[in-house]
Structure 1
Amino acid sequence: MKVLALNASPRKQHGTTDIIIDYFLEGARQAGATTKKHYVTDLDIKGCTGCFTCWTKTPGRCIHRDDMDWLIPETKEAEIIIFGTPIYNGNITHYMQRMTERFLPTLLPWMEESGDTTHHPLRYEKKPQKRVLVAVAGFPDHQAFNIVKAISPDSLHILLPSSQILQDMEGKKLMKGFTDAVTESAKQLIRRGEVDQETKNKLVVEHSTEIKNLIREHANRYFEAHLEK
């Protein structure tokens, strides 16, 4: 089984998005999968212009010649895709947004009804594929994830508020139940095709009121000390 991770954090290997993705990829490898990771900020991905050429003039082919030419075929070959992003000012990074917009050629232009929503049908035959959303935020509250959850409602959600807690050893000890669950979720997804509810519950961290208060106090002290006087 092939697992592909797309990390859209500009901090790349130095950020907490990458720490969590690596826990998942380790579990995937332990379950026998092959894994690959791309840092989206390293890729040449131009922005969608909304010209619809990929629908009307060259069906399935964008006007831009860049790294999406090989990335789209690579995503089609993966059985599990991980989309990783920090939350900046309440939203996904623009690197993630720009990349996802460029998947438009994989859709057909027709509008179809699905329940009470409208969608575009897929251009290519869909193979069984699971999607995982890894999102981290500086705020300790879950409201930070409202937009990203709405964008990707059907993915397996791995959400860590105040993710900076993973940057030191004490924090990693405190969050061991979470990181173990991330690794375990990868194993379950590969071996069984789904993740049990007990593990899912551990993937969405809800900090206690005490920890939230400590995080706010620590953040305020940090920026007060680093403000240029």
Structure 2
Amino acid sequence: MKIAAVYGSPRRGKISKTYWLLDAFLAGCREEGAEVKLINLNEYNIKFCTGCYTCWTKTPGKCALKDDMPEIIEILKEADLEVWAFPMYFFGPTALFKNFLDRTMILAEPFFELKDGICTHPMRYEEKSKDKIIISVCGFPEMDHFKPIHEWLKFMEGRGLLHIKAEIYRPAAEFLVAPPFKAKKEEILAAMKEAGREYVREGAIREETMRIIQQDFIDQETFIQEGNRYWQWEIDRWRAKREEE
């Protein structure tokens, strides 16, 4: 199995909770023999789509912009599975990830067809799988905050643009760095690794594994109290620094 993992957080490596989860998942995939290619969008030059339609008309399947996107497109075309990993910023995907996604318009044809009574575009490369696994985190403690992401993805799935194999959401992700939750962090990351193993081995992630990954580990009252305390500490810390200057 060839896996293309698209990492769409502006944060890098050790400070990114999205990366923690993705890295653990991919480690499990590799243990089961999958060939994994990590596409860290931070490291690529990807220009904004200008809506010129060159990739649909003048040079079908080839973008007019000169950047790193053709390299990424080739990786995606060869993959059996794509893993999309991004944090939720202001109730949606990051600008970094959305910019990448806009540029994948090249993978669609300009023509129209109906899917469940709604117009869409056929895909250019139907011979390869459109299977996707979604990994996303947010700072808020409730799973409800992922509803906009879920509905957006399901709408695209309904238009025949992708096939969602799993959605892995981790709320209250910022609290995973707190020392009192170290054991929970390790438990969740171990479950992410197991999820990678299970998917490559079985083609699905078990319910118990998902339950561990998405478990509640902080109540709303504690979240609000400790979260507000932290942000007030940060504000006071920077105020003190300014006064020292």
- Give TM-score, length-normalised by structure 2: 0.85
Do the aligned partners of 1:107 and 1:123 also contact (CA within 8 Å) in 2?
Answer: yes
Superposed, 1:113-132 pairs within 5 Å as 113-132=114-133
CA displacement at 1:117 relative to structure 2: 3.2
* CA distance in 2 between partners of 1:163 and 1:81 (Å): 23
* CA distance in 1 between partners of 2:115 and 2:187 (Å): 38
1:223 aligns with 2:224: no
Q: What residue in structure 1 maps to residue 171 of structure 2?
A: 161
Q: What residue in structure 1 maps to residue 7 of structure 2?
A: 7
1:181 aligns with 2:182: no
Do the aligned partners of 2:39 and 2:72 also contact (CA within 8 Å) in 1?
Answer: no
* CA distance in 2 between partners of 1:25 and 1:170 (Å): 26
Listed one character per residue, the Cα deviations across residues 174-201 of structure 1 (whole Å, up to 9, x for unaligned) are 2444333322221122112222334344
Unmatched 5+ stretches in structure 1: none
* CA distance in 2 between partners of 1:118 and 1:106 (Å): 17
* CA distance in 2 between partners of 1:172 and 1:31 (Å): 27
Q: What residue in structure 2 maps to residue 44 of structure 1?
A: 45
Closer/same/farther in 2, CA of residues 133 and 107 from structure 1, 3 Å limit:
same
Q: What residue in structure 2 maps to residue 207 of structure 1?
A: 216
Closer/same/farther in 2, CA of residues 16 and 119 from structure 1, 3 Å limit:
same
Q: Report the 3-state secondary structure (helix = DSSP H, G, I; strand = E; otherwise coil) of the residue aligned with 1:46.
A: coil
Provide runs of 4+ in structure 1 moved above 4 Å. Answer: none
Do the aligned partners of 2:79 and 2:128 also contact (CA within 8 Å) in 1?
Answer: no
Letter in 1 for 2:233: A
Look at both structures and tell me which one has the larger radius of gyration over its CA atoms. Answer: 2
1:111 aligns with 2:120: no
The worse-fitting range, judged by mean Cα deviation, of 169-178 and 23-32 is 169-178
CA displacement at 1:151 relative to structure 2: 2.6
The worse-fitting range, judged by mean Cα deviation, of 150-159 and 42-51 is 150-159
Do the aligned partners of 1:62 and 1:105 also contact (CA within 8 Å) in 2?
Answer: yes
Letter in 2 for 1:215: F
Letter in 2 for 1:163: A
CA displacement at 1:129 relative to structure 2: 4.8
| Equivalent residues, number | 227
Superposed, 1:3-42 pairs within 5 Å as 3-13=3-13, 14-42=15-43
The worse-fitting range, judged by mean Cα deviation, of 168-177 and 141-150 is 168-177
Do the aligned partners of 2:165 and 2:204 also contact (CA within 8 Å) in 1?
Answer: no
* CA distance in 1 between partners of 2:206 and 2:119 (Å): 30
Question: What is the percent sequence identity of the aligned residues?
Answer: 30
Do the aligned partners of 1:134 and 1:158 also contact (CA within 8 Å) in 2?
Answer: yes
